[in-house]
Amino acid sequence: MTLRVLALDHVGVLGGAELSLLDIASAFGDEMSVRLFVDGPFRDALANRGVDVQVLPMGALASVRKESRTPSLAALAAAWRLAEVVANEAASADVLYANSQKAFVVAALAGRRARRPVVWHLRDLLGAPHFSALNTRGAVMLANWLATRVIANSHATADAFVRAGGRRALVRVVHNGVDPAPFDAVSGVAPRALRHSLSPDAAYVMAVFGRLHEWKGQQVAIDALAQLPAECALWVVGAPLFGELAFETALREQAARLGLTARVRFLGFRNDIAPLMRAADVIVHTSTWPEPFGRVIVEGMLACRPVVAASAGGVGEIVTHEETGVLVAPGDAAALAQAVTALRASPARAARLAEAGAAHARRTFGVPAMVDGVRRVLDEVLA
């Protein structure tokens, strides 16, 4: 059956949710149009893949953040106006598909006006400290009332939705998928030039990937580096995508305080994730709050690198401890340093874990499985 899906996302930068939607929208082709509420590199990335994409500016709705307690009247009015615009577009769509929480609020209002079903692809672990309680309660109430289905990117995300009061019957779990092609392209090569250009003197490189945010735990990776010998370096890959500039400053100060300035490279946002991962010795994931999914973990596996990940949330659905990677307690820098030291001491074990991780990621977290999962839910909604 040919679908007409109107997808909404309020974000213009390339976070994990947006990179997943990029693959989904590319696979749906003419069946999916995407409307963003802010302009940015995400629009260019979608357009480059031939996706029909437009920006519908969100006005004062931009002032509402995950941690906001009460939205202003201006923000509510902006959401309402945006919903009217979306409802007009929805007249020629079969279903509204929201890829972010703010987009879901607009989709829910628009879906009601246009009498179209609404699917919320939930990619956040509701109840996290960086969401206000009111924000979570509001989204869950709206989902129970107006969503036809909620797609959760892991069982952990699904369980958190239900714990927050969401109806279990609404939820379908579809794990994220990651395209192995960029990793295959660099599989036979050890990118020595890249490594040398970044850390010429390092005998061992630990790398952490993700936007800079306190809960992503880059501070834990820096603390762990302080416990490793001087020939070890750390690459911090990612930017403060949503304005967390003070956090980036704090990370740089932490590195300086610990005498690590020369050993920590802050690389900012990068588009060459696969070669960077190949050029590092170990990929660490350091979230201090349960990660809903963690694309970077699958990517580390696809790059055939040993992965040490913080054991909480959806991470346990990706990594099996001592089989496909190593799990450590979230926020425990000493445990992270120990796990990295042990991998460094035993290259054979590191290679075994990396190979098992790569095979598992390929088998379990492909883009076709993710796209089929989303399509199944949309078909179910329209049946």
Positions in the binding site for ligand UDP (CB under 6 A) = 14-17, 19, 209-211, 237-238, 269-270, 273, 293-296, 299
Count Cβ atoms below 10 Å from residue 167 Cβ, excluding itself.
14
CB of 58 to ligand UDP, least distance (A): 20
Give 159's contacts (C-beta < 8 A, 6+ positions apart): none
Q: Which residue is nearest to ligand UDP (CB)?
A: 16
Please say which residue, 166 or 275, places its beta carbon nearer to ligand UDP. 275
Query: What is the smallest separation between the CB atom of 298 and ligand UDP, expressed in angstroms?
Result: 8
Q: Give whichever of 47 and 334 is closer to ligand UDP, judged by the CB atom.
A: 47
DSSP 227-267: TS-TTEEEEEE---TTS-HHHHHHHHHHHHHTT-TTTEEEE
Bridge-partner residues for 122, per DSSP?
152
- Separation in Å, CA 348 to CA 97, 166, 351: 45, 46, 5
User: Which residue, 34 or 83, is less far from ligand UDP as judged by CB?
Assistant: 34
Neighbouring-strand partners of residue 151: 121, 172
Q: Nearer to ligand UDP by C-beta: 146 or 298?
A: 298
Among 139, 192, 191, 193, which residue's Cα sits nearest to residue 170?
Answer: 139
Separation of alpha carbons 320 and 328, rounded Å: 11
Q: Which is nearer to ligand UDP, 115 or 243 (CB)?
A: 243
273, 244, 51, 101: which is closest to 181 by C-alpha?
A: 273
Q: How many CB atoms lie within 10 A of CB 366?
A: 17
What minimum distance in Å lies between the beta carbon of 277 and ligand UDP? 9
- Please state the closest distance from residue 116 (CB atom) to ligand UDP, in A: 27
Q: Which is nearer to ligand UDP, 90 or 221 (CB)?
A: 221
Q: Residue 184 belongs to what H/E stretch? A: helix 181-184
CB of 236 to ligand UDP, least distance (A): 9
- Closest approach of Cβ 97 to ligand UDP, in Å? 17
